[in-house]
Amino acid sequence: MTPTSGRSLLLVHAHPDDESIGNGATMARYAAEGARVTLVTCTLGEGGEVIPPELARLTADRDDTLGAHRIGELTAAMREVGVTDVRFLGGPGRYRDSGMMGVPDNDVPGCFWRADVDEAAGHLVAVVREVRPQVLVTYDENGGYGHPDHIQAHRVAMRAHELAADPAYRPELGPAWRIAKVYWNRMPRSVIERGLAETAAAAPFPGTAGPADVPGVVDDAAVTTVLDGAAYAGRKAAAMAAHSTQITMAGAFFALSNDLGQPLIATEYYQLVRGQAGPRLPEDDLFAGLGAADHAADPGDAADPTATDRPVEESAR
Ligand SMILES: [Zn+2]
């Protein structure tokens, strides 16, 4: 879909599938509303496990072709939510999946965990200055749940947010761009506890996940923004199903390769960490409170920044 609203949303994720689980409904909504939605995924998820037995040979310890396969899954998933601008940080395969914290893959040269943050952020600055997002979505400083690639995605995204706005930083990557709002993915504790209790009762899988298995869980009060994804629940489920090496769907529930059931939650939650919140909390829109200057489609269109400072009386007279 051609962007028509002047809104631009950038999401930075670690592996293919994180975007659909965390933001599938959000992406579907903004794509449907005509926003430009850009996904940057930092690795191909080469180190992941594989659920379908017939694809078991793809794993890193056998054919090591899972990365290429997951590019296909991600492409199919994004088709389900209407997102066409999908990129891999530095190009496909530039940074390799580092595996869970503490495994030998953490030390493999070329893995994302070993990447120089400033160098990796440079690739993202180029994207930021090209697509000029008003909103950036990524993980908290613990990567949501401690996975090295998620922690590194956080560091790279936050560093790129800073560098992209600095006119002295690599002007050859395009004019400086300040992203107005930055959000971290969140899951309110009360919501996930209720959802996991429902999962345990329905028992669609041999076991049930715990709150520690779910990324971004925080006290409810930390959540600033709630996106009601009911209208896009089907799109989100279809996007998740496209990641079939990673996710098993079962109605209102799903499981990763650990076979522990989790609830499929279409409402998506965020914490605003940079920028000004909209007039009402919790926000129901990531773009809430943004003005014309933040939405400039290109630098030439930017409104006179002094115009917004004009006294109210002038128009009231
Ligand atoms: Zn991940």
The closest of 13, 297, 28, 25 to 138, measured between CA atoms, is 13
Scanning 165-229, the segments in alpha helix (DSSP H) are: 189-202
Distance of CA 280 to the CA centre of its chain: 24
Residue 162 Cα to ligand 1 midpoint, Å, equals 24
pLDDT of residue 312: 34
Query: What separation in Å is there between the alpha carbon of 95 and the centre of ligand 1?
Result: 14
Measured in angstroms, how far is the CA atom of residue 19 from the centroid of ligand 1?
9
Q: What is the mean pLDDT of residues 116-137?
A: 98
Q: How far is the CA of 149 from the centre of ligand 1 (A)?
A: 7
Q: Tell how far the Cα of 57 is from the centroid of ligand 1, in angstroms.
A: 21
Classify residue 54 as exposed, middle or buried by CB count within 10 Å of its CB (0-12, 13-18, 19+): exposed
pLDDT tops 50 at residue 308: no
Q: Is the pLDDT of residue 24 over 80?
A: yes
CB burial of residue 159 (10 Å; 0-12, 13-18, 19+) = middle
- For ligand 1, the distance from its centroid to the CA atom of residue 23, given in whole angstroms, is 13
Please say if the pLDDT value at position 300 is more than 60.
Answer: no
**Binding-site sequence positions for Zn(2+):** 15, 18, 150
Q: What pLDDT was estimated at residue 187?
A: 98
Residue-level pLDDT at 314: 33
The DSSP call for residue 173 is G
Question: What integer is the mean pLDDT of 196-208?
Answer: 98
Residues comprising the binding site?
15, 18, 150
Average pLDDT taken over every residue of the chain: 93
Q: How far is the CA of 156 from the centre of ligand 1 (A)?
A: 15
pLDDT tens string 139-193? 999 999 999 999 999 999 999 999 999 999 999 999 999 999 999 999 999 999 9
- Give the residue-averaged pLDDT of 35-49: 98
Confidence of residue 296 (pLDDT cuts 50, 70, 90): low
Summarize pLDDT for 263-285 with one digit per residue, the tens.
999 999 999 999 999 999 999 99
Distance 93 CA to ligand 1 centre (A): 15
Grade residue 3 by pLDDT with cuts at 50, 70 and 90. Answer: low
